[in-house]
Every structure is written in structure tokens, then in C-alpha cells.
């Protein structure tokens, strides 16, 4: 989505959904994902994707892709 982490690959389960508008104009959507090793990762996602996922959903981010996908 933002060119950051494109080479990164991970998979995990959504544990939390958050959104915020720190500047009062832009809405930022994030999900917290628990990885298989128990580590938690905070991931910024598009609004439409944020609305389509719920805690318990499994996400996979493949190397070379910009966004995670729901499995």
C-alpha cells in the first residue's frame, strides 16, 4: 500500500482492529496480527480491507506484494 515492507512476508491471526484520525482529516486503519511465534504486528491497511476483516481472521502477506490478503 505504501511501498514499505514489500519484501516482507508474514502470516497470522487478526486480534484487534483500530482506526484513528490524529489530524482530524485523514482516517488511518490498522489491524493487530498475532504471528505464529506469539509476536504481535501492527499493520496499516486500506479502509475497505479493514471493514472486511474481523478478529480471528487469518491474514497472509506474501513477499513482493504490498498488502496482506484474507485466507
- pLDDT recorded at residue 45: 96
Please check whether residue 16 lies inside any domain of the structure.
yes
Please check whether residue 40 lies inside any domain of the structure.
yes
Q: How many domains does the chain have?
A: 1
**Domain of residue 16, residue span:** 10-61
Q: Residue 24 maps to which CATH number?
A: 2.40.50
Bridge partners, residue 69, by sequence: 60
Distance CA 34, CA 16 (A): 9
Its pTM surpasses 0.75:
yes
- pLDDT recorded at residue 3: 53
Please check whether residue 69 lies inside any domain of the structure.
no
Distance CA 31, CA 29 (A): 7
Bridge partners, residue 50, by sequence: none
* pLDDT tens profile 16-55: 999 999 898 899 999 999 999 999 999 999 999 999 999 9
Amino acid at each position: 500500500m505504501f511501498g514499505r515492507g514489500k519484501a516482507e512476508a508474514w502470516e497470522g491471526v487478526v486480534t484487534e482492529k483500530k482506526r484513528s484520525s490524529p489530524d482530524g482529516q485523514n482516517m488511518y486503519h490498522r489491524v493487530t496480527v498475532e504471528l505464529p511465534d506469539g509476536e504481535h504486528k501492527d499493520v496499516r491497511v486500506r479502509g475497505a480491507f479493514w471493514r472486511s476483516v474481523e478478529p480471528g481472521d487469518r491474514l497472509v502477506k506474501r513477499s513482493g506484494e504490498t498488502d496482506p490478503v484474507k485466507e
